[in-house]
Amino acid sequence: MRETETIEYKKSLAGMDVSETTLRKVSQAIAAHIEPKIYPEVSHVTRDGKSCIRVTFSGSQAPYFAQSRAYLGIMKDEL
């Protein structure tokens, strides 16, 4: 698996189960820390045999800010 402009991999948290609670917490954390506000769609997917959390959102108010850093939202979906 390789990273692209629309896919970024993070280190695994060993033993972490991806449950509905986990997905909800990820969604809430993203919504709480991004300005202008976004409401992400967070889901569990399997990619190349690995368990992943997929985060998608749409918006037209770029740049988005998280922890005082600016990010441009990329709308292309590769999964």
Q: Kindly report, residue by residue over 65-75, the tens digit of the pLDDT.
A: 888 888 765 44
How many residues comprise the chain?
A: 79
The share of the chain scoring above pLDDT 70, in percent, equals 78
In a domain, 3, yes or no: no
Which residues, 6 or more positions from 23, have their beta carbon under 8 angstroms from its beta carbon? 42, 43, 44, 53
Flag whether 58 is in a domain: yes
Domains contained in the chain, number: 1
The reply to whether 8 falls in a domain is no
Full residue range of the structural domain in which residue 60 is found: 20-71
Can you tell me whether residue 68 is helix, strand or coil?
Answer: coil
| pTM, to two decimals | 0.66
